[in-house]
Amino acid sequence: MEYFNFTDAYCIKHFGYAFSPVLRVMQLYHVVSTVLAIWAILHFFLRFRAHFVLHPNIRILFTCQFIACLIHSTFLGAFQAHHFYTSLTTTEPCGVILAPSTYLTFQLPFAVSLFCIEFSEVMMLIERCVASYFFAYYEKVDTRLGHLLLFFAIFIPAMFAYMIYSVETYETPYVSALTTPKTAANLINGLFSILIFLNICGLVISSYLYHYNKKQQKRASFVLSSRYQSNENLTSSKMLTMLTTMQLVIFLVYGVSQFSFRIFFTNEFYATDIAQSLIILGYTPPLYCLALPLISMIFIKQSQKERSFNILSLVQVKSTGREGWRNYSQQLAQQWN
């Protein structure tokens, strides 16, 4: 080949697994799961996004995560379909080796979008912390905070991607774009450790926010608008707790499996169809991209029912007494001003 000078015997020994029916089945598994994820994400945007009634700041970050999942699923499905098709049509044992430009085209947006999924979750937790502690004033806050956190949700993954791919020499042959760059192996291991740590911290913080907002909701001194914002904080915190828990489990399985493969797989076993199939099976982030829109759609339907009930209850219960007079006075002031 023009970019790698390998003999057919060398390619059969080291890359013969690419022609295995078992590996092809696993590649189709990724293709099917990503197609379902893309359909679910697009369906959510077309049918449910308008009903996602939360503060614009959290909506910005949720949209970022959905777009990151859409990009991630698109490129994962695309290169797995490419690898599947190439293994069926190539007539040369070395024909499955990716050109460096092809590898980078698939790997770079695939990796950056994966990092964006993680860090957008972190930014959502930061935004919800601010919303929870300043709930009485947060409805009047504009979208500058959301855009600032969006910048960091994109800038930090881009910075990590630059650190990883700027040191890659592309002298190592790659058969799959799912394989991370060999040159930056230590950096990638460190990044995996950071992501696992962030997921654990995120689970703790989201659980705390849920209980904090639940406690705040029971306070009787809030005016009607503050109570409504408190309900919104509780709803979003409950959803973030669910998503963070799911993300922690999925990415923890992914991180532990990849660490285990790197430690226990020998070079000989790594070049087998069983090892490569296990690597694909251990790559669990597509499950998150599939579950994210499905859980969001279910949660929106449930929160709409709860929101209608809470609004009706708040208006009915707080229409008398000192707080009822304060709410009534505020409504009159808004009408006359």
Could you report the average pLDDT of every consecutive run of 10 residues in the chain (337 residues)?
75 88 93 95 85 79 92 95 93 88 91 91 86 72 87 94 85 86 80 81 79 64 51 63 77 78 75 86 89 85 66 52 57 49
pLDDT the model gives residue 263? 74
pLDDT the model gives residue 308? 61
Do the beta carbons of residue 52 and residue 300 sit within 8 Å? yes
CA count, 13 A, side-chain hemisphere, 48: 21
Distance CA 48, CA 300 (A): 8
pLDDT the model gives residue 297? 84
pTM of the model: 0.81
Do the beta carbons of residue 249 and residue 204 sit within 8 Å? no
pLDDT the model gives residue 231? 59
Q: For residue 286, what are the CA distances in angstroms to 12, 81, 128, 290?
A: 30, 15, 25, 6
Give residue for tokens 């500058």: 144
Out of 1.10.1660.10, 1.20.1070.10, 3.40.30.10, 1.10.3720.10, which CATH number does the structure's domain 9-314 have? 1.20.1070.10
Listed in sequence order, the residues at least 6 apart from 218 whose beta carbon sits closer than 8 Å to its beta carbon are none
